[in-house]
Amino acid sequence: QSVLTQPPSVSAAPGQKVTISCSGSSSNIGSKYVSWYQHVPGTAPKLLIYDNDKRPSGIPDRFSGSKSGTSATLGITGLQTGDEAVYYCGTWDTGTWDPSLRGWVFGGGTELTVL
Amino acid sequence: QVQLQESGPRLVKPSETLSLTCTVSGGSINGYNWGWIRQSPGKELVWIGKIAYHGHTEYSRSFEGRVTISLDSSNNQFSLSLISATAADTAVYYCVRDLDWKNDYWSQGTLVTVSS
């Protein structure tokens, strides 16, 4: 069971918008920056969003991130078939409540299907 | 563009040591933190540990006592060593650059199988 909770799958039609949620706790999302990664199996995972809502250069503004309290959300607008991938949220857990969790923690991944 | 590539045995016998090396190209290993993450089949991403450019290491408690991460600045590489491997260590292993609360570059990942 992952420390961060994501829905296993989401789907939408081309051109539509989806959001992917990521829920954690005060020792991780509640106190640290969240990042999001796009993973097409067989390729290197790609950083999409960092510091909750910033995009690295080269990432289109169709991708957005936000954080509120102990939850974060990834938004993707103008869906394209090329967006089909597994999306992961990640952050640092301080280990405040469970020292065994100190370190990077990730969600279980959300598989996006563009119908 | 920074690129990371793992190398090492893809098949390890139980009780032996799992060893992987990550070669960094397109940038210097100096000045950054570097880490290892793995994903067992059908499971979530699991952080193993990281090493800073000056050699300080931090490991997940889940692997403490079994793991060593080391740096070879002269060859722009860093390595993972996991002793007493078991079938539970069968996973895709990724090496990453850990920079200011984000893993901004990842390797493609390599499947290491622990089996006799």
In A1-115 the beta strands, taken as DSSP E runs, fall at: 9-12, 18-23, 34-39, 46-49, 63-68, 71-76, 85-93, 103-106, 110-114
Q: Take residue A64 and report the two structure tokens written for it.
A: 């957005």
Name the residue in chain B with its Cα closest to that of A98. Answer: B61
Neighboring chain B residues of A103 at a CB cutoff of 8 Å: 47, 49, 58-61
CA dihedral (B91, B83, B94, A69) in degrees, to 10, reads 90
Rounded Cα gap, residues A24 and A13, in angstroms = 29
Put simply, the answer to whether B104 touches A56 (Cβ < 8 Å) is yes
Those of residues 73-102 in A touching chain B at CB distance below 8 A are: 88, 90-92, 99-100, 102
- Judge contact between B109 and B93, C-beta under 8 A: yes
Name the residue in chain A with its Cα closest to that of B49. Answer: A103
B18-51: pLDDT as tens digits = 999 999 999 999 999 999 999 998 899 999 999 9
Mean pLDDT by 10 residues, chain A (115 residues): 93 97 96 96 94 96 97 98 97 90 94 95
From the number of C-beta atoms within 10 Å of its C-beta (0-12, 13-18, 19+), residue A68 rates as exposed
B59-97: pLDDT as tens digits = 999 998 999 999 999 999 999 999 999 999 999 999 999
Rounded Cα gap, residues B96 and B45, in angstroms = 12
Q: Hey, is the C-beta of B58 within 8 angstroms of any chain A C-beta?
A: yes
Look at residue A97 in the predicted model and tell me its pLDDT. Answer: 83
Look at residue A17 in the predicted model and tell me its pLDDT. Answer: 97
SS3 B73: helix
Mutate to test the interface with B, among A47, A94, A111 (most CBs of B within 10 A): A47
Among B44, B46, B49, select the one facing A109 at the smallest CB separation. B44
Q: Take residue B5 and report the two structure tokens written for it.
A: 């590539």
